[in-house]
Structure 1
Amino acid sequence: MCVEREYPAANVFDGRIYVTGGCKESDSSNWMEVYDPETGIWECVLSPEGNSRVHKSAVIDGTIYNMFGNGGLAYKPKEDKWETIGGITYLDLGWPWLSYCVVDNVLYCCCNSDGLKWYDSKRCYWMDLKGLKGLPKFAGYGCVKLADYGGKLAVFWTKYFRASGYKKKRIWCAVIVLERRNNDEEIWGNVEWFDPVLTVPNGFHFVRALAATV
């Protein structure tokens, strides 16, 4: 990269990798940079000066959202246009930075208290993901991670494995088929399957869940 960075945010859009924040001394010339795999070249993207730490970042409908503090910056690569996200918005209020993903241009997140939600960008409000028949409740202590699994929502979470004397955990996985209803005002989730998939030491913790195509 053009600039040394520590814990930046990274997103892929239109075949290019956009990296934001994480630099010790950020300014409008180095806060974001982009990598083109076809040319193998990194280039800086001129931007409004942003916070060095980006807590949440995702691509939604062609816009790269970068949230930090009470607000953030949104960038539209095709238009080379920036927008300020000022104050505490509904997007920021319901978007826990540890557990979210984007599926078909819809942002989904998980809160232990409220379960799975999706962000309605038209009404600027968080909505409950309906349906989910048979999906177990997530443990309050467990870390939940989400991933886009080929247009489906993959959910991973942990539970203590009682048979091990609580010395180990089990990683559970569920795959959820998403369906828009009522003129896109509702999204329903049909639980395709769920099962424990791996037993791990008690000290295990999730970093991130990603779906890769080989």
Structure 2
Amino acid sequence: MLSPPHEKMKLDPSPPPSLSILSVPNEVALEYLSLVSRSDHAALCAVSRSYRSLVGSPHLYEIRSLMGRTETYVYVCIRAPPPGPSPRWYILRRRETSSDLIPIPSLPSQAQESSSVVVVDWGIYVIGGLTKGKATSDVFLLDCRTHKWRQVPSMRLARANAAAGVVDGKIYVLGGCKFDSGELFDPKTQTWDSLKPFPEELELHGRYIHDSFVRDQKVYAVCGKIDGTDTTFYYSPREDNWGRGNSRSSLGNARDWCRVGDLLYSISRDGTIYWCEPEELDWREPEGMVTKEVKGLDSLKKSLSCSRLIFFDHQNVHLWEQFRKVYNGTFRIPEVMDLLPGARLTTFGPNMLLFWSVLVGDRLQISCAEISLERQGQGDEVRGNIESTSVVLTVDPFDYGYKVLYSASVLV
């Protein structure tokens, strides 16, 4: 006999058995977690120690990589006054309407200035730098899977303001010491080796390395000379050879560079963002490097031009003023606040992230803008579109000790 329809629809009032990801084997739990965005991992870690163990497992990164679930995250390093560690590290949390900086474990023994920062796979290497005004050979690795630090073998020489880049999985460090030399680090063997001697015709006396990047498997260094000119040189690991790059006049005087897609971008002392073809890095005379302004970013220019002196310390100011006295009357030497505007460019997938800070009353605001870039016409114009802008950190009251040191994108 069939039951009445209303009895068929009657539901069991007892609650379903509780399910927990911790009740399944770790292998299965890690597969579940690989489907969860890393931005939600912090909340999971707060639930229990077991969740923290799973989230911090290197195997989770391997599974996410195999499943194509890795995501790009941006890390920011900021020098800060005491109390507390300095520099301090953050991860950028991006939301639909705003972004902010979330603190992660920092390293008290990290150099406070002038380190070189590169990304290899899931890790950020912090190389050399200045500690109490002296160069160091220390090298530290931030594991972005677990946000844990460890020290790796030191360089053979102490270096500060060196160029650094990654070619074929190895780290190349150029200059940054009085010997004008270079060396390479193999993460697999954990060993350092010296590069061939630096040629005399490329000697770096009177130059200040302020940026570097990789093109065509070559590590390029960008130097600011005492006369205000930017010049480049490179090392080619595959050819084991040094080479002379191009130069750029002090007009615009780039301070920070990044590569997005097939083009290079830089920011000048007046807040203008320029672009150029990568081929412009190669040496040519007499025209030098040809750069063009990225159109459509006028609304940022005024704020960027005001972001200056807070980005370097008194030691750098003193050294530059000594240069100005020695070479006074020989060159038109720019003021140090003109030479070093305070902004950082970072590649973020097909777009660019721009970090800068500016005084608003008695507060210091560190902002972040995401900019999409489009090449137009016959390829002779690039337009930027500001996708979002957020104040990611506010210092109130203002303190000169704060400074954005580095930013890096990592796929984890």
TM-score range, shorter chain: 0.7 to 0.9
Structure 1 Cα separation of the partners of residues 353 and 254 of structure 2:
17
Tell me what 2:174 maps to. 20
Percent identity between the two aligned chains: 30
Structure 2 partner of 1:42: 192
- C-alpha contact (below 8 Å) 2:210/2:222 kept by paired residues: yes
What letter is aligned with 1:198? L
Name the structure 1 match of 2:380. 185
Residue aligning to 2:28: none
- Give the Å deviation of 1:91: 7.3
Q: Please state if 1:213 is matched with 2:411.
A: yes
Cα distance, 1:3 vs structure 2: 2.5
Residue type of the partner of 2:395?
V
Shift of 1:44: 1.5
Question: Residue 165 of structure 2 corresponds to which residue in structure 1?
Answer: 11
* Equivalent residue, structure 1, for 2:126: none
Question: In structure 2, do the counterparts of structure 1 residues 21 and 212 end up closer, same or farther at CA, with 3 Å as the change threshold?
Answer: same
Whether the 8 Å contact between 2:165 and 2:173 is mirrored in structure 1 is yes
Aligned position for 1:147:
346
The structure whose residues are more often helix, as a share, is 2
Match of 1:106 among 263, 274, 281: 263
Match of 1:176 in 2: 371
SS at 1:138 equivalent? helix
Structure that is richer in strand per residue: 1
| Matched residues, number | 203
For the residue of structure 1 that corresponds to 2:403, the secondary structure is: coil
Aligned 8 A contact 1:103 1:148 in 2: yes
Counterpart residue identity of residue 158, structure 2: E
Distance 1:91 1:180 in 2: 25
Change (3 A) 1:72 1:100: closer
* 8 A contact 1:18–1:35 mirrored in 2: yes
State TM-score, norm by structure 1: 0.79
Pick aligned residue for 1:2 from 156, 160, 174: 156
Q: Which residue of 2 aligns with 1:127?
A: 292
* Equivalent position of 1:79 in the other structure: 239
Equivalent position of 1:51 in the other structure? 204
Which one-letter code corresponds to 1:130 in the other structure? K
Q: After TM superposition, give the deviation of residue 19 of structure 1 in Å.
A: 0.6
Ranges in structure 1 where 5+ consecutive residues have no aligned partner = none
Structure 2 Cα separation of the partners of residues 83 and 76 of structure 1: 8
Structure with higher RCO (Cα < 8 A, 6+ apart)? 2
Partner of 1:159: 358
Residue in structure 1 matched with residue 254 of structure 2 by the alignment: 96
Q: 1:6/1:113 Cα in 2 relative to 1: closer, same or farther (>3 Å)?
A: closer
RMSD over aligned Cα atoms? 2.8
Question: Residues 118 and 85 of structure 1: is their aligned pair in 2 closer, same or farther, counting only changes over 3 Å?
Answer: same
Contact 1:135 1:191 in 2 (8 A): no
On the 8 A contact 1:131/1:190 being kept in 2, the answer is yes
Q: Which amino acid aligns with 1:159?
A: V
Asked whether the equivalents of residues 160 and 177 of structure 2 are also in contact (C-alpha less than 8 Å), the reply is yes
**Per-residue displacement from partner, 1:89-111 (whole Å, max 9, x unpaired)?**
237764523x2222234321112
**Deviation for aligned residue 1:169:** 1.0
Cα gap change, 1:18 to 1:171, in 2 (>3 Å):
same
Q: Aligned partner of 1:171: which letter? A: I
Structure 2 counterpart of 1:10, which letter? A
Residue type of the alignment partner of 2:407: A
Shift of 1:138: 1.8
